Structure 1
Amino acid sequence: MSAVAELHRIHAGTSPPPVPAARGHRGSDSYDHIEPLFAELARYDATDPRRTALREQVIRRCLPLAEHIARRFTGRGETFDDLLQIARLGLLHAVDRFDPAHGAPFVAFAVPTVMGEVRRHFRDHTWAVRVPRRIKEIQQMLGPTTEALTQRLRRAPKAREIAEELGVDLVEVTQALIANNGYHTTAIDAVTDTENDTAPQSLLDLLGAEEPEYRIVENYLAVKPLLAALPERERRVLISTFFESRTQAQIAQRIGVSQMQVSRILSNTLKTLREQALRD
């Protein structure tokens, strides 16, 4: 049985009848002072039906903890039902991994375990586009950090201040802020509401036509540093040909070579520029 199906069954109350509680349990629904039940769990063999029943009893008592943590993560783009399911899965892991022999209370172990499960869900499964894991982790810290700094500074914090508070590089914080735009996307053909009485339109309908001059600008930006890196003679041949509209004979006379050499220089230079531009 999968963990999700098991949790649904436990929550629905279809589990086997509970066994008598360990000493110290007063029959409340609280998950406080639950460590004696874990001590009793440790005494049963994994295949013992009494252990299965007691384990499910422990999980049912701890379900409010998962709900409390799920509510802390609401308002971040995921439904409460989805968050609750993830939190309950984290609770299941916490119950199975907790060792009462270490002496720590169960809640101190369960809370970071459940919260870690929810945070991993946000980090790995709720992004509409691919974002590096490091940037996802920083993005998850932006909200609480920004809120804390806003209260302390009595104004919205700057990216530099957020970076200092988190102890990370300013570039990473900037990338995380930009990455917020990749958390959710809208289909380009999705219909949007309009403020006037016109018929609803999709984002695609509102986009302008492609500007053909953009390609010229892109080509210019790609070739400019390559031109600057050319030797002086090759650069003079290109400028004279394409910017000053000189003939090869005029260029040959100007730089003191034959017209055949100018043709060869121009051909080789254009070939080199083309290969470098396409490679970059």
Structure 2
Amino acid sequence: MPITSTKSGVVDSTPPWLPWIEDPWKVAPKDARELSSLFFERLQMLEEGTPDHQYARNTLIEMNLSLVHFSAKRFRNRGSGEMEDIIQVGTVGLIKAIDRFELSREVEFTSFAIPYIVGEIKRFFRDSTWAVHVPRRLQELRVTLAKTREELSGRLDRDPTVAELAKHLDLVEEEVIEGLIAANGYTAGSLDLPIGTEPNSAETVTYGDIKGDIDPAMELVEDLHALAPLLAELDDRDREIVTMRFGQEMTQAQIGEHLGISQMHVSRLLKRLLTQLRVAMLTQH
């Protein structure tokens, strides 16, 4: 099935049933969506590890990099991480989506891939950013103080005092103290860290034993709060379907009977709605 299109950079395929694209990253998003379906169809027929399989997979990755850039733009003002790093981790999410996507899902690849990409980026922020919110000025001061302490420790053969740090950096001592305190927010201490033992007992006491627990329902409240406006944007029938399935806990067969459609049709509608809502929640600012 040869394809020729100079506009998209697609030339005659080799072999004839696998299109050869010279510059996949230059393919327009609209063309990428159409070509991706073809490549996924062919990918399922190819043996993993073969040059043709590798070409098809790599082409899918490069053609859909626009999804990574689209998702990454939503995180550019988060105040942590370079955009280059965000693009890299987003690309990891794209690759995971490509490896797990199946045409039988009856879902657009775009809708399937974005949650993977956004999830990977959020994981990056979770694992590499400050444990608590700290102003950018203090984040930068922490780095400066760390370098200065190391430099002065080598000269003095001891840890420098606050006064010595302030003098070296031409800062007032209050600023240095503020920076040192803020540095404590870079990492969070483990709740399993031992802090002593129970009186008259050899049992170890940890921070987790004396700290209050986080109410697991709080996350649910946040999710429901984010979901409410998205449900309001649905048309009446879609909102009714969601309400019957998750509010009234009706079966798909009961919903189908109520609406006068087949159970299979209800299943497809629910799958589409859930994917739509999931993508919308994950891509919110």
Q: TM-score range by the shorter chain?
A: 0.3 to 0.5
- Tell which structure's C-alpha radius of gyration is larger: 1
Task: Using CA pairs under 8 Å that are at least 6 residues apart, name the structure with larger relative contact order, 1 or 2.
Answer: 2
Normalised by the length of structure 1, the TM-score is 0.41
